[in-house]
Every structure is written in structure tokens, then in C-alpha cells.
Structure 1
């Protein structure tokens, strides 16, 4: 069920895409060590001070591991097969990976977990609905997998909940506006699903922003994303969801916009130094780390790592 929109307050910075970060902008960016391999259309999840980069549009399977404290990269056991547009989340000391596209654009139903202590992948119960390019986020002791597309890149509204303890699935209220390449995050006990595109078409980007309340199993509308885009990276810091970068048919985005759930308010921050899409973001030490991604629309790739300090002082190295 979709409720009436909440009162909408939107604060947008007047930022020029061609201009460098200036003193009046909120937040400051700094570079970090590039990944040892270039990637795009990845899933990224963080666990115990490390970020894990899984999958690749161009078929690479090596697991890239970034130590957020030391700014150093290593590699883990390769993912079992090439996959792109997969979805990942951390729970119970493991990284869980769901679906994704295989054999080109075939949506997979497979689920896996990675144990960093053993450096091994383990097969888990299949997704009830094969899909890719959705979002996965932990909530309580479970993981919610929201939206995305099936084979042929046609959107699904499916919202399924994985229980790592029992290796089983349950269904929840479907996403009211089916879409893919969206941001899905958990904030203060609720799930935020922001932006995305229709049926894999980045010329049909959306500003939709919807909130799921697990207590009622209902979605409601919230203040729309100020800049319609898809293929974004996203991360949570405090009570805000940061939506970073993205693409359309003709460009990649450097916009950085943060949604404050309790206030139902968006604000703009200093622009991403390297506009890109198909990448991931994690938080560590009060900063947001963006990893890999494509600097041009489509299937390009990079090893770029850039770090945002939302409070405005550049991260030390």
C-alpha cells in the first residue's frame, strides 16, 4: 500500500558540474589507492573494516578486498562464476550475494555467502525470484532483497527476505514502483528505496523515493530524489542515505545528495570528483568510500577510489 507523500522539503546546492569543489560546498573529497583491477556493475559490502567488491560487467571473478583503515588492497577467493549487477549485504560475519546477470543478461536465482575467515564461498538457498540490479540491505537479523529486473531486463516488484540463520526466504510487501539500478538502504529501522530506472533503460530514470516500515509491512512515498538517476552508489551515515553518481543514456553524474529520513529532507554535497556509475559505497570512520565504477555510460570500468568527508575536512592518509 502506498500512502500519501510526506511534507517535502528539498535543499539543493547550486553546484556547477564543471567546477571544482569550492569552500562553500558541503563536504570534501580526497583520493585513495586505486583497486588492483578495474571494475564496473559491481556489488560492494563492508564487514569488519574491509570493503568487498564482487562481480564485474566484463567478466572478472576475483574478489577485491579493500582495507579501509590502511588504504590497502588484497584479493580473496574468486566468485564461482562471472556475474554482474549482483546484490550483496553483510550479516553474521559473512558477505551474502544474491542473483545478478549471468550468460549475458540472464537473471540468476543463485545465492552465496563468503566467509572471510575461511576465504571460501558457500551456496545458499536460491532466491525465489531470479533477478539482478535490485538492492540488498540488512534489517535486524535478516536481509531484504528489493526490486530489480528479471531476464530480458523487465522490472519486478518483488521484495523477499532472507534469514541467514535458517537459510530460508519469506515474502514482504512488493515495491510499489518496480524499478532497477536503484539505491536500497536501511535507516533507523526502515528501508529506503531511491531512484532507479524502468526496464533497464537509463533514459527512463526516476526520482521516486519510497520507505518501507517492517512494523506494518507497508511502503510510503517520501520526498523525491532531486536528480533523476540510476546506477548510483549509496551508503548510510547517521540518519541519512547518501546517493552518489549514476548514469543516463548520455552522461554519468557527479551529484551527491543525502536524504534525512526523520526530516524528509534532501541536501546537496560536494560533487563526486570522478562522475561514474555501476560502483559501490561504504562508510567507515565517519567517511564514505566509493569504489570502482564506469566513468562513461555503458560498459566502461575503472579502479577509482574516492572518499567523502561530509563534515568538510579532507580525509588524512
Structure 2
């Protein structure tokens, strides 16, 4: 059960023994059908074999839907208003979308649920802390919203937990290193928060990699992200969190690095063909699909879709 105790930054025994590892690059990338509209600073979540692209830095509201098996695109009901740097997760047959920036750089506390069967958006209980550019991840039936930034882009460290069944919020231990544009994923029953930046400044990227244990409501330090970056896409395969692409104030990244949580080790994989940031990733049948994003630092956009097979075989089409 989640407790509201203050975060305690601890060094768990198994996490002290290992250090980051730079193995030789493996895996193979292939292209897929481009999105029907270019996007960046989006949230991406998967549900029933489809990936949903939500929000856009340039104000588009169309919900883009990618059929992962058919490699085809369609559109769903538009999001209720323009939003960027929002966060999304799926549970119980619905997509949940949290916060984001509206009216320019105003952090929102709004929460919406999308039902793909009826193609409708429904408002839900707002977040206690308005935020954008954080992370949302499902753990034990509840959605954890971690880190991010508020209006004015100053970081928030709060870690709040949404219960979809009760439409209610609780609190958990704060993120030890407050940051935004970070990767947040659930793996092996814990939450991994990797990379990010300070106060929205991509010139202040971090290698921070911290792990949340829900059993103790505590965070611990893990092997740092080998390449400091923010605005990445991320996904989970097996017991690894894949951190893909990203940006600094000078360039976009093509690095692909995977964190093995039980071993506390990183490994490098084949580089992203189109370096970009502000995009999303989902897994499907052992492959990672990366969708849209900006190929240049800042507010550019694309419809690019590229697929990674970590075992080295190009996806069959």
C-alpha cells in the first residue's frame, strides 16, 4: 500500500554492486508507414494492438491511431483542446491523459479518459499538482504520475497516484531529483525514472536514474543513464527499459540504451535511424515502435515511424 511518507533516497544492496555497461550495439531498425500528420511533444500509449498519439506542440488536436499489425493509420475523436507535453497511460480498456501545457506554457491539472469503443472523451478527477512533461505509468492497477514541470517550467517533484476505479488521487514518495522530459516506466514491479532536464532547460540534461519500490514507498539510486538527454521516447521489453533518442539545446540524439533493472546494467543498441525528440514509443510482439517527433531541437515535427527489433531481424511486412 502506498504511504505518504517523504521520499528517502537509499542505496539498495543489489543496486550498489553494478555499474553502467556499454555493450556492443545490437538490434535492427526498419521503417513503417508515416503518420498522416506531423507531430511533436506528444503522448503515446498503446491499447488493443493500436498506438494512440495525443497532443501536439503546434496545436493539432486530432487523435492519431496507428494499427500496429496492419501498419495503417486512422483518426479518432479529437482531444477537447490543444495541448502539448501531456502524459498518457492505458488501463481497463481506456486511455488516460494527464495535464500538459495549454494556452502556451500554462501547466494543466486536467485529466481525461478516452473510450475507443464510443470514441468519446470524459473528464476525470483533476491532478492535485498541475504539471506537464512528466511521466505516467501503470503499476498494480493505478497510474503513477511522476515529476514534470509547472507553469513557468519550474520542476515539480511530486509523485501522485490515480485510481481509475475510484476516480481519486493519492500521494507517494516524491521524486528525489526533480526534473522534466524524463522517461518513466514500470518494470519488474517497480518504476524507473531515467534522464530528463532541469526546469525545462535542455542545456541542463541529467543522467539521473532512480527506481521506486512501491512496497516501501521509497526511491533508490541506480546506474546512471549513459548519455545525458531529455525528451526521449521509452518502452519496456522483458526486464529492460529502453530509452530512445532525445535532445539537448544543440542537437537531437540517436542513442538507444536499455536498462536491465535486476542487473543494474545499461547496454547500447543500434542507433535510431532518425534522431529526434518529443515522440513516443510502444511495444508490440517483441518490437518497439517509435512514433512522430521532432528531428531538430525545439519545435520541429515529423510523421516518422521506425521500428526496432532488439534481436536483430528487420520486421516482416
TM category (shorter chain) comes to over 0.9
SS of 2:130's equivalent?
Answer: coil
Matched-pair contact (CA < 8 Å) for 1:136–1:144: yes
Mapped partners of 2:146, 2:72: distance in 1 = 32
- Work out whether 1:304 is the aligned partner of 2:304: yes
In the TM superposition, 1:77-96 aligns within 5 A as 77-96=77-96
In the TM superposition, 1:53-202 aligns within 5 A as 53-202=53-202
Alignment match of 2:21 (pick from 11, 14, 22) = 11
- Structure 1 residue 287: Cα displacement: 0.1
RMSD value, Cα: 0.7
Mapped partners of 2:286, 2:141: distance in 1 = 24
Mapped partners of 1:141, 1:245: distance in 2 = 29
Matched-pair contact (CA < 8 Å) for 1:290–1:307: yes
Offset from partner CA, 1:28-70 (integer Å, 9 cap, x none): 0000000000000000000010000000000000000000000
User: Equivalent residue for 2:283?
Assistant: 283
SS of 2:16's equivalent?
Answer: coil
In the TM superposition, 1:164-243 aligns within 5 A as 164-243=164-243
User: Equivalent residue for 1:21?
Assistant: none
Matched-pair contact (CA < 8 Å) for 1:41–1:57: yes
- Structure 1 residue 7: Cα displacement: 2.3
TM-score, scaled to structure 1 = 0.96
Offset from partner CA, 1:94-133 (integer Å, 9 cap, x none): 0000000000000000000000000000000000000000
Offset from partner CA, 1:204-231 (integer Å, 9 cap, x none): 0000000000000000000000000000
Mapped partners of 1:49, 1:2: distance in 2 = 38
User: Equivalent residue for 2:33?
Assistant: 33
- Structure 1 residue 12: Cα displacement: 1.6
Mapped partners of 1:7, 1:257: distance in 2 = 20
Mapped partners of 1:192, 1:91: distance in 2 = 19
| Stretches (4+) displaced over 4 A | none
Mapped partners of 2:187, 2:9: distance in 1 = 19
Mapped partners of 1:78, 1:6: distance in 2 = 47
Matched-pair contact (CA < 8 Å) for 1:196–1:205: yes
In the TM superposition, 1:261-276 aligns within 5 A as 261-276=261-276
User: Equivalent residue for 2:9?
Assistant: 2
- Structure 1 residue 243: Cα displacement: 0.1
- Structure 1 residue 10: Cα displacement: 2.2
Mapped partners of 1:269, 1:221: distance in 2 = 23
Mapped partners of 2:21, 2:284: distance in 1 = 26
- Structure 1 residue 13: Cα displacement: 4.6
SS of 1:170's equivalent?
Answer: strand
Matched-pair contact (CA < 8 Å) for 1:7–1:223: no
Q: List runs of 5+ in structure 1 lacking aligned partners.
A: 15-24
